[in-house]
Amino acid sequence: MTFANKTIVLTGASAGIGQSLALRLAEQGANLVLAARNQAALEQTAQACMKAGGKAIAVATNVAQPEDCQQLIDKTIATFGQLDILVNNAGISMITNFEQVTDLSIFEQIMQVNYLGAVYCTHFALPYLKANRGLLVSISSLCGKTAVPTRSGYVASKHAMQGFFDTLRIELQGSGVDVLVISPGFVATDIRERALGADGSALGQSPRNESQGTMSVDECVRQIIGAMERRKREHIMTLKGKLIPWGKLIAPGIVDRLAAYAARIKPADHP
């Protein structure tokens, strides 16, 4: 699959993986519809995409609101007349032990953005994707494959995403629409700085050592584009991630210990 003149809706496009992915797709001549809540940051990404050789519009969108998601798809069709690819990338995280949570609304927020936001966008986009035998992409996480301590709400939302898109893939057999689930590990973005803490406020800084075991955004985007080009059904980015399903069958206790080690926080951050 090539992306020249393809119309691509990309959520979470104002920063991180979404912003870098938009720029790489623009270099290939894509028509981009960029969605996120921050209009100013979106406009900057759109300008950079146009300079890179693509066409782009910025549509301020809160994916947790179905009306916003419908408006996003409506503006896509009104502007470009078609929809070839939807990339569900918007996401938020949490980092705290469950027993320390004082604001239970963080679980609802995370599920609304990570899971229901993808459901809403997919619902409104699907008729147009079917018309063009398009591609449906979900940027999930290794957290959609296994448990990770201090991320209970995030893990639950990514498990929900995985189950939803796996089911949709089966339902869409014969429609011409392919469903791709991407599962990165730790990537060098600010998602952990923006993660919600026990009281529902953003942490402000990552509690893990980001110099270890963290993939660059460029490498992550390179792998995403490669998987999209091949219209794969699934792409797991790390060797450890690929071994997780087998490890959970053979030695689940070891997988739990590895997950705890990978998610460890810096000693100074322990109470």
CATH assignment of 7-269?
Answer: 3.40.50.720
Q: How do residues 69-106 score in pLDDT, each as one tens digit?
A: 999 999 999 999 999 999 999 999 999 999 999 999 99
> pTM of this prediction?
0.90
Whole-angstrom Cα distance, residue 36 to residue 11?
6
Catalytically annotated residue among 115, 120, 128, 154? 154
Based on C-alpha coordinates, what's the Rg of the chain?
A: 18
Q: How many helices (H) and strands (E) in the chain?
A: 9, 7
Banded model confidence at residue 266, pLDDT cuts 50, 70, 90: very low
Q: In the prediction, which pLDDT does 107 show?
A: 97
The pLDDT score that the predictor gives to residue 120 is 98
* Residue 267: pLDDT band with limits 50, 70, 90: very low
**CA 161 to CA 139: how far, in whole Å?**
9
Residue 154 appears among annotated catalytic residues: yes
Alpha carbon distance 188, 167 (integer Å): 30
The answer to whether residue 249 scores a pLDDT higher than 80 is no
CA–CA separation, 57 vs 2, rounded Å? 20
Q: Tell me whether strands 234-236 and 85-88 are parallel, antiparallel or unpaired.
A: unpaired
